[in-house]
Amino acid sequence: MSIAASNTSMRVPAGFRNLLEGLAREVLREQPSDVVAFAAQYFQRLLESREAGGIDPVAWGAMLED
């Protein structure tokens, strides 16, 4: 079964690129054996920091992208 090509253009949400670059940088620095578990812990720490009143990396990244 084939699916017809679409002209739909997808946009990356503001701040998403910066968020993924931060993850990639930490993965390269730490060289974890389980990248998925490392990513889960990385994002959990970011979430906890944001909820504690720290900097929201997505909002900050969106500012940088503008």
Task: Summarize pLDDT for 9-42 with one digit per residue, the tens.
Answer: 888 888 888 889 999 999 999 999 999 999 999 9
Find, among 46, 41, 43, 44, the residue nearest to 56 by Cα.
Answer: 46
Sequence ranges of the domains in the chain = 16-64
Tokens of 66: 């503008």
- The backbone torsions φ and ψ at residue 31, rounded to the nearest 5 degrees and listed phi first, read 55, 55
Find, among 10, 26, 12, 17, the residue nearest to 58 by Cα.
Answer: 17
- Does the pLDDT value for residue 65 go beyond 70? no
